[in-house]
Amino acid sequence: MNIRNVGHSMKYEAECVAMLFFPDEKIVTTEYPAGETFPPQPEDYIENRLENGVMKTTLCLNGEIRTMEQKLYDDPQGPYEEAEFLMCDMMYILLTQATGVHPGWGSLTGVRPVKLFHRRLDAGKSPEETGREFAEHFHVSDEKIALALETASHEAPILREATDDTCSLYVSIPFCPSRCSYCSFVSHDIASERAKKILPVYVDRLCDELCCIAEKIKQTGLKLTTVYFGGGTPTTLSAEQLDQVCSAVERYFDLSHLKEYTVEAGRPDTIDRDKLRVLHSHHVDRISINPQTLNDEVLKAIGRKHTAQQIVDCFQMAREEGFENINMDLIAGLPGDTVESFCDTIDRIIALAPENVTVHTLSIKRSANYGQNWEARRKALELGQQVGKMVSYAQKRLMEEGWMPYYLYKQRNTLGNLENTGYCKKGYEGRYNIYIMDETQTILAAGGGAVSKLKSNRTGRLERIFNYKYPFEYVEHFDEILKRKDRVVSFFEENRPLPLWKD
Ligand code: SF4
């Protein structure tokens, strides 16, 4: 789809709205000065024209032309936010009329919609008023408003615990036993000779980095409240290597304030009794066993080398080994999955009764340039609607059975512009998930591809420290990675007084 913006440069905003309706299509925006005119053209296009304080949007789709215009209230140039809102709103309305598609999140295109709800609620608006505003101004459906309000209510007390003197630790293990077809993470297939060779060195450096981070935490007086091992698949490590990393965490950090210790065990083909025992002996109290689907055909289609039964067996083994807080990740919209098969997966997961269930929506790569191919576009939109049914079923069934939504985020380019939602049984909220999404707590991160986030709620500042992305670079530039961590101490010196007891 081609967009032309005339008299303004709101490219990003216009493309975000267009993406809701053309999810896997290349969107090309061209900007022109005010006053530029164009001869009639038969191809599809969207034009957003800002001239003399009037925003006018024209949509030409499938041979039909639709137009809307609105005057900006203030200055003829108009404040940026108002012009942006009017452009996005008119594009949304015209595209909805032309396609018949009504995305559940309406014209909200950001990745943290619940944050917008929190902002209104914190400012004293009632849930009803807040819901009305999102329905009227942003066309959000009743179902999504209810989901956002419910999520916000469960998140709020945990967010309040994330004070400026607390932090979390993220430990990155970017290795997997094989690569899934839909994977968008930096993860290395452990089957390759190169990965096998680097792994022990990587684990040693990771432990060294943990030592360095622990030192920074001591210097700043932060209290560590959550630890999260993610990846990749952390249980790709052997039992001995897991023991090495968990022992480093225990040795270097003060864990007396810890409220949650999660390891993403991930795929059943990486989990065995020895590894579970190692994790349990180090007081890991939350693990993830991620089926994504319980349909064997779909597992095969995404490149998994295990069956649904192995997932169930693995879950039972984790229970036998004493894990009382297990998360299971699912993905709606996997290749070859259907609404019926996804609903069946949900029902079987409910029967297993894990404490956490996280329902993701498949993120797709935008690459196609459909031009006038309306059929291909319609298929992409229909697929989005199918995935919408999967996500709605999951929400309805899980909430009926006593799980509640406690964190929610959206990724760009998901089918149907849908969300990823974490559900849990009461008292089993994954704190780290809330903190990472809301960006309210400092997260110190170790390992390849890890990104530390330094946050001061007092000053509102958020700063990131990047580690090298790939394990090979991580090992090679390790001194530089340690050097970058010096910023942790200076950030907190600038943003809040250090504790009195600091040397
Ligand atoms: S398990 Fe996760 S990180 Fe590993 S390849 Fe599959 S999607 Fe990527």
Reduced DSSP (H G I as helix, E B as strand, rest coil) percent helix, strand, coil of the chain, to 5: 45, 20, 35
Contact 242, 173 (CB under 8 A): no
Domain CATH for 344? 3.30.750
pLDDT at 60 over 80: yes
pLDDT at 164 over 60: yes
DSSP 3-state assignment of 395? helix
Domain CATH for 11? 3.30.160
Does residue 475 fall inside a structural domain?
yes
| CB-ligand 1 contact for 177 (6 Å cutoff) | no
- Which residue is it, tokens 């004070």? 163
| CB-ligand 1 contact for 304 (6 Å cutoff) | no
What is the structure's pLDDT at 366? 53
- Same domain, yes or no, for 117 and 231? no
Q: Give the model's confidence band at 221: pLDDT under 50 very low, under 70 low, under 90 confident, else very high.
A: very high
Read off the pLDDT of residues 438-480 as tens digits, 9 standing for 90 and up: 899 999 999 999 999 999 988 889 999 999 989 999 999 999 9
Q: How far is CA 381 from CA 96, 164, 334, 447, 458, in A?
A: 12, 43, 15, 39, 43
| Domain's final residue, options 99, 124, 148 | 99
- Same domain, yes or no, for 275 and 301? no
Q: How far is CA 312 from CA 165, 232, 301, 349, 374, in A?
A: 40, 21, 19, 9, 42
Does residue 225 fall inside a structural domain?
yes
Bond prior to 232 in cis (omega within 30° of 0): yes
- Proportion of the chain above pLDDT 90, given as a percent: 74
- Same domain, yes or no, for 75 and 143? no
User: What is the Å distance from ligand 1's center to 233 Cα?
Assistant: 7
Closest CA to 262 of 327, 357, 180: 327
When pLDDT is averaged across residues 281-304 and rounded to a whole number, the result is 94
- Same domain, yes or no, for 263 and 299? no
- Same domain, yes or no, for 274 and 201? yes
Atom of ligand 1 nearest to the CA of 290: 1
Does residue 198 fall inside a structural domain?
yes
Does residue 146 fall inside a structural domain?
yes
Closest CA to 213 of 450, 463, 456: 450
Mean pLDDT over each residue of the chain, to the nearest integer: 91
| CB-ligand 1 contact for 187 (6 Å cutoff) | yes
Closest CA to 263 of 352, 323, 198: 323
Least confident piece of the model among 41-50, 187-196, 203-212, 274-283: 187-196
| CB-ligand 1 contact for 266 (6 Å cutoff) | yes
pLDDT at 149 over 70: yes
Q: Give the model's confidence band at 270: pLDDT under 50 very low, under 70 low, under 90 confident, else very high.
A: very high
Does residue 433 fall inside a structural domain?
no
Does residue 39 fall inside a structural domain?
yes
Does residue 434 fall inside a structural domain?
no
Q: Ramachandran region of residue 417, left (φ > 0), alpha (ψ -120 to 50) or beta?
A: left
- Same domain, yes or no, for 168 and 269? yes
- Same domain, yes or no, for 218 and 279? yes
- Same domain, yes or no, for 81 and 22? yes
- Same domain, yes or no, for 389 and 467? no
For a substitution probing ligand 1, which of 173, 233, 271, 306 has the most ligand atoms within 8 Å of its CB?
233
Across 313-323, b (16+ Cβ under 10 Å) vs e yields: ebbebbeeeeb
| CB-ligand 1 contact for 233 (6 Å cutoff) | yes
What is the structure's pLDDT at 328? 97
Q: State the burial class of residue 263 (Cβ atoms within 10 Å of its Cβ: 0-12, 13-18, 19+).
A: buried
What is the structure's pLDDT at 148? 97
User: What is the Å distance from ligand 1's center to 231 Cα?
Assistant: 8
- Same domain, yes or no, for 305 and 416? yes
Atom of ligand 1 nearest to the CA of 232: 3
* Alpha-carbon radius of gyration of the chain: 24
Give 196's contacts (C-beta < 8 A, 6+ positions apart): 190
Tokens of 361: 């929506």
For a substitution probing ligand 1, which of 187, 305, 314 has the most ligand atoms within 8 Å of its CB?
187
The dihedrals phi and psi of 463, each to the nearest 5 degrees, come to -130, 145
User: What is the Å distance from ligand 1's center to 21 Cα?
Assistant: 28
The dihedrals phi and psi of 429, each to the nearest 5 degrees, come to -60, 135
The string of DSSP codes covering 467-500 is: PPSSHHHHHHTHHHHHHHTHHHHHHHHHHSPPPT
List the domain range (segments joined by +) for residue 68: 2-99
Question: Where are the alpha helices (H) located in 221-324, listed in sequence order?
Answer: 239-252, 273-281, 296-301, 308-320
- Same domain, yes or no, for 309 and 418? yes
| CB-ligand 1 contact for 292 (6 Å cutoff) | no
When pLDDT is averaged across residues 257-265 and rounded to a whole number, the result is 97
The whole-angstrom separation of Cα 142 and Cα 131 is 8
| Domain's final residue, options 55, 75, 99 | 99
The domain tally of the chain equals 4
pLDDT at 502 over 70: no
Q: State the burial class of residue 295 (Cβ atoms within 10 Å of its Cβ: 0-12, 13-18, 19+).
A: buried
When pLDDT is averaged across residues 211-235 and rounded to a whole number, the result is 96
Q: Give the model's confidence band at 323: pLDDT under 50 very low, under 70 low, under 90 confident, else very high.
A: very high
pLDDT at 427 over 50: yes
pTM recorded for the entire structure: 0.89
The whole-angstrom separation of Cα 465 and Cα 445 is 9
Read off the pLDDT of residues 341-395 as tens digits, 9 standing for 90 and up: 999 999 999 999 999 999 999 876 554 454 556 666 677 677 788 899 999 999 9
pLDDT at 503 over 50: no
Does residue 175 fall inside a structural domain?
yes
Read off the pLDDT of residues 22-31 as tens digits, 9 standing for 90 and up: 877 889 999 9
- Same domain, yes or no, for 221 and 319? no
What is the structure's pLDDT at 498? 54
Tokens of 374: 């309306």
pLDDT at 8 over 70: yes
